[in-house]
Amino acid sequence: MSVDLSGQVRTDTVRGYDVLGKPPRQDLAAVADLAARVCGVPRATINLMTDTQQHHVATFGFEGSVCTLEESLCARILHEDAPVIVSDMREDARFNDHPMVNGEQGEIRFYASWRLVTPDGVPVGTLCVHDYETRVLDTAQIEALGTLTDCVVDILELTVRSDELAVTLSEVDGMRRQLERSNERLASFAGQVSHDLKTPLTSIALSLALMREELPTSLDPGTLSLLDRAISGSERMAVLIDDVLAFAQVGGTLRYGEVDLERLMSHVCADLWERLDGIVVDGGPLPLVHGDEVQLRAVLQNLVDNAAKYAEPTRRTSIVVRGETLPDVWRIEVADNGAGVAAAALDRIFDPMTRAARDSGVEGSGIGLATSRRIVTAHGGRIGLRSAPGEGTTAWFELPR
């Protein structure tokens, strides 16, 4: 019978197990020991095969070695789908000419071999037991050897998966450190740019304000209007710079502690008193959560501010803020009866500089929701919106418990 020497996939798989040329592993040696004891035979081995060689990676009853596939007994039956059990190898045409059977190198009589097949269906070797006396295995012994064969494959695959996991964890840790450095550089850059932009902008705004105060009211209304627009534009630019700086700084080092969202919400309402004038704000009790109080306050303020800004002119605006304690998360919702958001905009509403109503005259930089998402994500949570035009919006976020 010819031996398949073209098993490149098998070779790559076997080498991936990283056991060739190394001392026998205790877990594999224990399986070989158990296989021999189950069958009551003096010898057992776990073989792995490349495209040219057979390696005894664990043995019982003899010292392991390496041989060519032509010299191997197990290589002759590697293509067999079922276990091969031979009571007397002298009577089996597959083996009776082999030197280990015909007396040239040995006189093996009993032989039993189970293929080791990976989850991808690649036969990589065998679990083999043999004896110098003829014998017969009963059903329980055959089933036990089949189970041990599965154990060998599981041990080898687990090693690969563990190595892959170790590499992945190392990569994730490296990415985390890189992200931390990137966040630090971003915050530093944003802070420097903010300073470099705000200094001349403040000067321009002050100059414009002084000009506006000193100009006579009898001046051409068009000129005064242009000046007022310039002053308003400089104020909006200052707010935008502050928003960009805040966006760059969130998600860095979190100062974790117990946060009373009920108390935080009262502070938010106090800060937004002018925005919330005439708006009904209601809701149930909010939970105590674990997080960074300053950053979570920014999330609540952004969501409540948005709910107030995007009102529906035809009805009185109401906002409901409610919390729920679930088994794994705290869930907070800010619901309004405002103008709502089109479905097409929901997918990008959390992107920086994206606004739900860019042409509606509603003030804002389009950074608030993006900042909120960065804060919630830094806490290991999630954030999202449910909305439809004319039916209001519910903004929600979840924090892990």
DSSP secondary structure of 199-264: HHHHHHHHHHHHHHHHS-TTS-HHHHHHHHHHHHHHHHHHHHHHHHHHHHHTTSS--EEEEEHHHH
Give the residues of the chain that fall short of pLDDT 50. 1-6, 357-359
352 CB-contact burial (10 Å; exposed 0-12 / middle 13-18 / buried 19+):
middle
Helix (H, G, I), strand (E, B) or coil at 148: helix
Domains and CATH numbers, the chain: 8-137 (3.30.450.40), 168-249 (1.10.287.130), 255-400 (3.30.565.10)
Query: What's the number of CA atoms in the CB half-sphere (13 Å) around residue 293?
Result: 12
Question: Phi/psi at 259 (nearest 5 deg)?
Answer: -120, 120
> Whose CA is closest to 240, among 366, 372, 370?
366
> Whose CA is closest to 35, among 157, 153, 155, 143?
143
The DSSP H or E segment spanning 99 is helix 99-102
**Interatomic CA distance for residues 98 and 104, integer angstroms:** 8
Q: How far apart are the first and last CA of the chain?
A: 64
Give whole-number Cα distances, 102 to 44, 96, 128, in Å. Answer: 20, 6, 19
Calculate ∠ Cα 364-370-374, nearest 5°.
145
Order of all β-strands in the sheet with 280-282: 280-282, 318-325, 329-336, 393-400, 382-387
> Whose CA is closest to 101, among 128, 77, 68, 134?
134
**Interatomic CA distance for residues 11 and 384, integer angstroms:** 49
**Interatomic CA distance for residues 66 and 47, integer angstroms:** 9
For CA atoms 230, 232, 236, 239, the dihedral sign is positive
Q: What is the pLDDT of residue 352?
A: 64
Contact 306, 295 (CB under 8 A): no
> Whose CA is closest to 155, among 18, 334, 324?
18
Contact 336, 310 (CB under 8 A): yes
Helix (H, G, I), strand (E, B) or coil at 2: coil
**Interatomic CA distance for residues 92 and 90, integer angstroms:** 6
* Tokens read off for 24: 């026998």
**Interatomic CA distance for residues 377 and 349, integer angstroms:** 16
Give whole-number Cα distances, 80 to 75, 126, 137, 166, in Å. Answer: 10, 11, 19, 35
* Number of neighbours of residue 100 by Cβ within 10 angstroms: 17
